[in-house]
Structures are given as C-alpha cells and as structure tokens.
Chains A and B, each alone.
Chain A
C-alpha cells in the first residue's frame, strides 16, 4: 500500500540541529524527496536522494536513507528562524508522487 508517515510537530531552538523523520512503505521508489512549504506558498524542493544511496549532504542539509527499515530522515544543521515551515517527504512510484502528512518545524529564537 501507499502510505508515507511523519511526526506532526517539531520544536527546536535556534542554532540547534533539527531531525525530521519519515517512514514509507513502498520499496520500489527510485527517488525520495524533501519539500518545504512556507505559509501561503507552494512546495519547494529542498533535496532528494537516489534509492541506492545511504546519505546525501547538501550544505546544512543531510539526508539519511535506511532502505531496510524504509526510513528517511532530514537533518538541518544550525537551524535558523527562517527554517520554520512544514516539511514533506515524498516518494515517487513511477512518476507518481506520494507525500507524507508533513512535519511542522518551529524554531524558537
């Protein structure tokens, strides 16, 4: 079945690291994505990882993929107030995207 799950909320202090977790069910996904959505805006692609990779680092962002457990995580180093948003993970199944429920990240000054 198609189901992507995320925790609903995360609150961190400015300067700390944030870790947002995601579990998915379909192991045939070739790419997994992290999107960011700010209030009143559409989704913006942050980063993605190919399914044969374990880790991808892109500046302050680190993506970890555990295919055995079907677990994906996004780590944001040195979290800033501008990182406050909703973060969605997504898997692609033959071009069709399945999005998670989203994690609302709140960064406290």
Chain B
C-alpha cells in the first residue's frame, strides 16, 4: 500500500512569489493534517481536515496561507506571497480517525522542503 505522497519534494522560490504543495493521503484515511517543521524543531500543526471540512485551522496564518481538500481526498496548501520566514519543511499526514480517545496513528509523508530567498 502506498504511503502519504507529497510533491514537490523541494522548492526554491524568491520572496513574494506564490507556492503550492500537494498531498495525497493514504487511501481511506478521513483525516488529513498539514504541519510546518522549522529547522531543529518538532512539527507544528497548521490545519487539520476531517473529510472535506477544516476542523482545526487556528494555527494557519490566514493572511497568506490557504488550504483546500476537495472531495475529501487530496489536499493543497498554498502560500501567497511567501516570506523569508516561511522557509521550512511542510509535512502532510493522514489517519483513520475513530474518535478523540481512540488510538489514531498518523502516517507522515516525506515533506516538501521550501527555501525562500
């Protein structure tokens, strides 16, 4: 079974340019997560989807970041315009969520490493 797929793996852009990341979760997983991982730190949640609905986007900088999960499967995360501080690894994860108190293993993709010059 294929794992979580992300593309591109690497992206270098100049500041003020737009950028988009794509994620294909594991088939059948209802929950999808986007994380940002800064150098030397743990992942921080940006947004969580339950099927098509964004249920936790409190950490998403909404002035420049947007995300969508059409049809509850693939998802895209967009930054427009990018700033120098957006350089990080953007990780996508998915899980088959069965309740808040259940064991919900998250499966991570390899990430997209963004460098903003």
Point out residues on A near B: beta carbons under 8 Å.
4, 8, 30-31, 35, 40-45, 48, 50, 88, 90, 92, 94-97, 99-102
Contacts and interface: CB of A to CB of B under 8 A. Distances in A.
B103 A43 contact: no
Interface of B: 4, 31, 33, 40-45, 48, 56, 91, 93, 97, 100-101, 103-111
Nearest to B95: A95
B44 to A, nearest CB: 7
Interface of B is mostly: loop
A44 to B, nearest CB: 7
Given A42-B91, A48-B103, A88-B43, 19 more contacts: A4-B42, A8-B40, A30-B100, A31-B104, A35-B108, A42-B109, A42-B110, A43-B91, A43-B93, A43-B108, A45-B107, A48-B105, A50-B103, A88-B42, A96-B48, A99-B42, A101-B40, A101-B42, A102-B42
B111 A42 contact: yes
A97 B111 contact: no
Contact of A42 (B4, B48, B97): B4
Contact of A95 (B97, B110, B111): B97
A99 B97 CA distance: 18
Contacts of B103: 31, 48, 50
Contacts of A101: 40-42
A3 B104 CA distance: 20
A30 B102 CA distance: 8
A92 B43 contact: no
B31 A45 contact: no
A30 B56 CA distance: 19
Contacts of B104: 31, 92, 95
A42 B97 CA distance: 20
Given A42-B4, A45-B105, A92-B104, A100 B110 contact: no
A97 B31 CA distance: 13
